[in-house]
Every structure is written in structure tokens, then in C-alpha cells.
Amino acid sequence: MDDVAQPRSGILGGWDRLVGPGATAWENAVTLVVAPVAAAVAVAWLPPDSTMLQRVVAAVLAFDVIAGVWVMSTPAARRWYGRPNRPTAMRWAFALGHAHPFVVAAVFDGSMAWAATLYGGMVATTIGLRWIASQARVPTLALAVVVLLGLGRLVGEDPLLWFAPAYLVKLLIGHLGQMPEVSGRARAR
């Protein structure tokens, strides 16, 4: 991880900071296909009487969240977001900046309790992940996804049926690549 590729200069550097420097042609191609297809499908799944605002928000969220599931799982993004010199505060800021459930609740007349549960659980899990040994991270995050989906369902419905699972997979499972490795022999204490 010490020899992580650095972003190129100019507009390509902006792309590198998003998907990870050194992304392969395949990783970039899939990203460029998944994002607009996800946006189009999200809009197609809306009821016919949806407002223009709802259509735009659904498209933007799907573009970000669904493509983010792909990107955050690629080796290039894992290397970039998990680089050793990346401050912990940046990792947490990434999670804190994804307050998307509140946008979904506001634009699609959803429950703010649902939004708070999803967002708060994601942030708490992200912060808590720092203290979990690496061999326990995958099961912990998988369990967190299931628990948060269940808790969210108890307090309200996801106004966009695809949003909550994709949001949690992007941000929680995607965080596996953002965490420094702990020896496989290390034990959670």
C-alpha cells in the first residue's frame, strides 16, 4: 500500500481521485456504463406521476450510489481510499458527507426516522469499524447491513426500494478497502 499510484494532473486527476489512480480500462469502462444505466433505471422505476424534482434526485442518487457500489469495490478505489497516509478524519468525513437518506426522505415523502436510522447506523458502524480486527470486519459489516435494513424497516419504508441496500453496501462494505489491515492473528478485544 505504500506505493499507491498518485492522481494524474488536470481533469484526469479529478477522475483518479474519484475512482482511484491506476484504475484499469475495465474498471473505468464499467463505471462509465453502470452510472448512467443506474440513473436511467432509477427514473424508469418511479411512478408515472413523479415530479421532475423526484426524477432528477432519483437519477443523481442512483448515479452516485449504484456506481459507488462498483467503484468502492474495485482494487483501484480500495488502494486509493485505503492508502496508509489517508487521515482517519477523511475516512469519517466521507461517511458523514453521505447524508443521502435525508434527501430521499424529504423529496419522496419518506420518514425522517427511517433516514436518521439509516444514516446514524452507517456513521456509527463506520466509526466503530476502526476498532474491529480485520478478520471480523466482513461479518460485522454484513451483519450491520442486515440489522440497519431491518431497523430502518421498523421505523419507516424506503421510498426508493433500491436505495437503502445500495447505500449501505456502498458505504459500509466499501469501507473495508478504507481500513488499514490488522494482522490475521490479531483478535478483537
pLDDT of 139-161, one tens digit each?
A: 888 899 999 999 999 999 999 99
pTM of the model: 0.87
Q: Is 50 helix (H, G, I), strand (E, B) or coil?
A: coil
Mean pLDDT of 40-44: 97
Cα gap 13→3, rounded to integer Å: 17
Question: 163-171 vs 134-155: helix axis angle to the nearest 10?
Answer: 160
Distance of alpha carbon 13 from alpha carbon 38, whole angstroms: 24
Tell me the percentage of the chain whose pLDDT exceeds 70.
Answer: 90
Cα–Cα distance for residue pair 172/156, rounded to 1 Å: 21
| Single-letter residue type at 158 | D
**C-beta of residue 160 within 8 angstroms of C-beta of residue 42:** yes
Q: How does pLDDT run across 54-98, given as a tens digit for each residue?
A: 999 999 999 999 999 999 989 898 888 888 888 888 888 888 999
Residue 58's CB: how many other CB atoms inside 10 A? 26
Distance CA 167, CA 3 (A): 30
32 contacts: CB under 8 Å, gap ≥ 6: none
Q: What is the mean pLDDT of the chain?
A: 89
Rounded to the nearest 10 degrees, how much is the dihedral formed by the CA atoms of 141, 147, 151, 154? 150
Q: Which residue has the cell 444514516?
A: 119
Instruction: Choose among 182, 95, 92: nearest CA to 137.
Output: 182
Cα–Cα distance measured from residue 133 to residue 180, given in angstroms and rounded to the nearest whole number: 10
Distance of CA 27 to the CA centre of its chain: 17
Angle (deg, nearest 10), helices 25-44 and 10-19 = 70
